Amino acid sequence: MAQLYPPAGFWIRAGLALAVTVSLPPPPQTADAQHLFPHPLLASRKKAAAPERPALRATIQPSFTIAAEPLGFTSPASYYLGMRHSMVSLDFLDEDRLLFTFRVPGLIHRGGRREESEGERKARAVLLRLPQGAVEAEAVWTLHDRARYLYLLDNGEFLVRDQDTLQLGDASLQLKPYLRFPGALLWVEMDPTAKFLVTVSSEPPTEASRVGDVPSPASAKASVTGDNEVAAGGGDKVLRILRRGDSKVMLVSHVRSVLHLPINGEGYLELLRGKGMAWTLNFNYFTGGNTLIGSVDSACSLLLNFISPGEFLASGCTSSGDPRLVAMGLNGRRLWENNSGGQSVWPLLVSNANGTRIARESLIADHAVNPMAPLDSEDIKGQDVQVLDAATGKQVLRAAASPILDAGGNVAISPSGRRVAILMDGNLQIFELPAPPPLPDLGLNHAGR
pLDDT tens for 292-308 read: 999 999 998 889 999 99
CATH 2.60.40.1180 fits 21-105+118-433, yes or no: no
Each residue's pLDDT tens digit, 312-368 = 999 988 887 778 899 999 999 999 998 765 566 788 899 999 999 999 998 887 766
Least confident range of 104-113, 218-227, 262-271: 218-227
Q: b/e per residue, 309-347, with b = 16+ CB within 10 A?
A: bbbbbbbbbbeebbbbbbbbbbbbbebeebebeebbbbb
Q: Which amino acid is at 119?
A: G
Q: Where are the alpha helices (DSSP H) in 168-324?
A: none
Q: Is the pLDDT of residue 118 over 50?
A: yes
The percentage of residues in the chain with a pLDDT greater than 90, rounded to a whole number, is 51
Query: What's the mean pLDDT when you consider all of the chain?
Result: 78
Least trusted range by pLDDT, from 2-11, 59-68, 260-269, 425-434? 2-11
Q: Note whether 310 and 297 are within 8 A (CB).
A: no
Q: What is the pLDDT of residue 105?
A: 80
Residue pLDDT, tens place only, 37-85 = 333 333 333 344 444 544 547 999 999 999 999 999 998 877 787 778 8
Query: In this structure, what are the phi and psi dihedrals at residue 241, rounded to the nearest 5 degrees?
Result: -115, 120
Q: What is the pLDDT of residue 97?
A: 98
- 3-class DSSP state of 426: coil
Task: Name, in order, each residue with C-beta under 8 angstroms of 440's C-beta and a sequence gap of 6 or more.
Answer: 329, 333, 335, 391
> Among candidates 210, 207, 196, which has minimal Cα distance to 159?
196
CA–CA gap between residue 125 and residue 137 (Å, rounded): 8
pLDDT score at 234: 56
Q: What is the pLDDT of residue 12?
A: 34
With 50 as the cut, is the pLDDT of residue 98 above it? yes
Contacts of 310 (CB under 8 A, 6+ apart): 264, 329, 330, 331, 439, 441, 442, 443, 444
For 169-191, the pLDDT digits (tens) are 999 999 999 999 989 999 999 99
Question: Could you read off the pLDDT of 254-297 as tens digits, one per residue?
Answer: 888 777 889 998 999 999 988 889 999 999 998 889 999 999 99
CB 233 within 8 A of CB 267: no
